Structure 1
Amino acid sequence: MTDYRGLTWDHPRGTVALRTAASRFSGESHEHTLAWDSQPLEGFESHPVGDLCARYDLVVLDHPHLGDALEADALQPLDELLPAAVVQEWRATTVGSADRSYTLDGRLWAAPLDVATQVAALRRASVPEPPRTWGQALELAGAVPSALSLAGPHALLTYFSLCVALGDAPATRADAAPLVGGVAGVAALEMMRDFFDRCDPATAELNPIALLERVAEGRIAYCPFVYGYVNYASAEGSPVRFADVPHCRPGGRLGSVLGGTGLAVSRRTPVTEELVQHIVWLLSADTQRGFLPRHQGQPARCEAWTDPAVNEHSGNFYTDTLATIESAWVRPRYPGYTAFQRVASELIRDGLLTGRPAAALYDDLEALHRGTSVATGA
């Protein structure tokens, strides 16, 4: 008998479907059980993944953790454990770049369970139509309570989203220089300052869940870049609506940084056929279109994102943000990136709060990136 333990993140989107499915797995006619623990969002974003994989059989992680996980030899490649036809189907049917984000060194290291990216969040009663351009977003921020997502790693991720929208996607290797070109980098920081100057500074300490709770309560009316949570749009009569992020230049790319979660199998795990079939079931089209949405999950497959019934239940969360998810940028996945992400975000957040000039803040970020390259031996 095998008693499997998994670790996910502590929000209904991360726990309800997995725990309900685990009860189903544990009640089947075999000798194995599965139970899920959870950790706060901040732990999911920054806790060393090697430590988690040493203690858990299944770990829900984000793609930037892969570099550290592979350096620690903490994961089993899923393309060795799962049928090739299943892996090929996932590659063909996941929305946006979700599948690619969990593929590194030619191997698939996590099953794309849940997909999210930074999208716009609005209070329906205060913002009938979402801004389509950055100029409109700034104008709206001067008229209604607004916020930028800056807590934890999110100041850097908002910066990256604006750089992508300005046509200068950040470098994805530690040894690549610059991290972002000076023109786009300084412009993105100036855009962040222009918006943040219209916001309550206290919002800088709120993670995405707390920001969306305040949108639901009516204390914030608009966030131009915040990770989307279908849970806040699904309730009947929900006051929260999600939309594509605003364009930052005419005809340009929608700037956003891919998030979501992957389901990984740690190196310590004894893999049984029953566990394999459970993972396959979680990622199947029927489960992603039916079971996950009914249990507060946010699916990864295109069939679910475009399904009329799924969209009707979600207040059109999926169709209203699909263009942004399809263009979302995949973050670096080198060893040490998550530590850089945390420190760089602190640097940007502090710079915005203290009024540091954008050009000087850009130089600080580039110096930190160069130091990361030296520290990681890249």
Structure 2
Amino acid sequence: MTDYRGLTWDHPRGTVALRAAASRFSEESHAHTLAWDSQPLEGFESHPVGDLCARYDLVVLDHPHLGDALEADALQPLDELLPASVIEEWRAATVGSTARSYTLDGRLWAAPLDVATQVAALHRASVPEPPRTWDRALELAGTAPGALSLAGPHALLTYFSLCVALGDAPATGADAVPLVGGAVGVTALEMMRDFLGRCDPATAELNPIALLERVADGRIAYCPFVYGYVNYASAESGPVRFADVPRCRPGGPLGSVLGGTGLAVSRRTPVSEELVEHIVWLLSADTQRDYLPRHQGQPARREAWTDPTVNEHSGDFYRDTLATTENAWVRPRHPGYTAFQLAGSELIREGLLTGRPAAALYDDLEALHRGTARAAARA
């Protein structure tokens, strides 16, 4: 008997459906069992995947970890395990760039299980209609308690989202400089500073889950960029409403940074036919449209996002954020990127909280990026 063990992240969105499905797998298979451990969100965002794959057979990961994972030779490419027709079907069926985000060097390294991106979240009773422009978002922050998502890697990701919305997507190559053009980068930091100046600075230390819990109880009325969690949406009368992010100008891009999760197979894992069938089942249309939503999951397939019943039960979470998710930007996936993501975010967060001028903060961030690029070139 093979006892498979997986690692996911410690939130109902990351655990409930996978554990229920693992029980189903273990009951139906006479030769294999599957169980899931979990780690905190901060571990999911930053713990080296190579280390996790040395201990686990299956790992739920975020696409920016691929560069480090491949450098450590930690993953099995799924195109060696699955029929090409299945992979092509996933690529066609998943929302936006979800499947592409787990494709590197022409190979698929994780099954696109779940998709999320930065969207707007508002307390329904306090903010009946979401702001559609940044100017309106600023006005709202002056009259109702707002928050920016800045903890962990999220200050950098909010910065990136604003840069995309301003029309200058960041460079994705390890050695590409500048990371963002000076005019756009400074403007984005000034926008963050202006919004944060109208917020309780203590919210800068809250991760997306903690921010959404405060939106749910009304302590925060509006957050313009935070990773969406369907678990905090419910039927129409629920306290949290999710919406597309505000545009920096009317008709401009919907700037957001893709998140979500992929299901990867460790290089060390003896892969059985039953395990392959289980992964294919998790990504099937019926599972994504029915099983995952019933078990607090957040599917990746477009059929689920546009399904009337799924939307009815989620307060239109999917329908109201689909445009942002379809257009979300894919982060760099080169070795060393996740370390830069944390360091860059800390730099931005501390700079904003201490009042560092936006131009100087931009220079600091670009210098950090150049140092990362030089280190990558020496590796």
Task: With the length of structure 1 as denominator, give the TM-score of the two structures.
Answer: 0.99
Matched, 1:28 2:7: no
SS state at 1:18 partner = helix
Partners of 2:371 and 2:252 in 1: how far apart?
Answer: 32
Gaps of 5+ in 2: none
Equivalent residues of 2:123, 2:218 under 8 A apart: yes
**How many pairs were matched up?**
378
Partners of 1:189 and 1:84 in 2: how far apart?
Answer: 44
Aligned partner of 1:223 in structure 2 is 223
Where in structure 2 are the equivalents of 1:1-80 lying within 5 Å? Answer: 1-80=1-80
Aligned partner of 2:288 in structure 1 is 288
SS state at 1:38 partner = strand
Partners of 2:109 and 2:97 in 1: how far apart?
Answer: 14
Counterpart of 1:364, as a letter, is: D
Partners of 1:252 and 1:78 in 2: how far apart?
Answer: 37
Aligned partner of 2:118 in structure 1 is 118
Matched, 1:101 2:82: no
Structure 1 residue 237, shift from structure 2 partner: 3.1
Equivalent residues of 2:235, 2:312 under 8 A apart: no
> Per the alignment, do residues 111 and 29 of structure 1 end up closer, same or farther by CA in structure 2, a change over 3 Å counting?
closer
Query: In the TM superposition, what whole-angstrom CA distance separates every residue of 1:342-374 from its partner, at most 9, and x where no partner exists?
Result: 000000000010000000000000000000001
Matched, 1:314 2:289: no
Aligned partner of 1:279 in structure 2 is 279
Where in structure 2 are the equivalents of 1:186-335 lying within 5 Å? Answer: 186-234=186-234, 237-335=237-335
Partners of 2:162 and 2:218 in 1: how far apart?
Answer: 26
SS state at 1:234 partner = coil
Query: In the TM superposition, what whole-angstrom CA distance separates every residue of 1:148-169 from its partner, at most 9, and x where no partner exists?
Result: 0000000000000000000000
Counterpart of 1:217, as a letter, is: D
Structure 1 residue 29, shift from structure 2 partner: 3.8
Counterpart of 2:173, as a letter, is: R
Counterpart of 1:292, as a letter, is: L
> Per the alignment, do residues 235 and 41 of structure 1 end up closer, same or farther by CA in structure 2, a change over 3 Å counting?
farther
SS state at 2:267 partner = coil
Aligned partner of 1:374 in structure 2 is 374
Structure 1 residue 210, shift from structure 2 partner: 0.1
Counterpart of 2:181, as a letter, is: G
Counterpart of 1:206, as a letter, is: L
Deviation beyond 2 Å, 4+ runs, structure 1:
234-237
**Matched-pair identity in %:** 88
Aligned partner of 2:86 in structure 1 is 86
RMSD of Structure 2 on Structure 1 (CA): 0.8
Query: In the TM superposition, what whole-angstrom CA distance separates every residue of 1:203-260 from its partner, at most 9, and x where no partner exists?
Result: 0000000000000111000000000000000267310000000000232110000000
Partners of 1:249 and 1:374 in 2: how far apart?
Answer: 36
Task: With the length of structure 2 as denominator, give the TM-score of the two structures.
Answer: 0.99
Structure 1 residue 84, shift from structure 2 partner: 1.3
Equivalent residues of 2:165, 2:255 under 8 A apart: yes
SS state at 2:54 partner = helix
Gaps of 5+ in 1: none
Mean Cα displacement is larger for which, 207-216 or 227-236?
227-236
SS state at 2:36 partner = strand
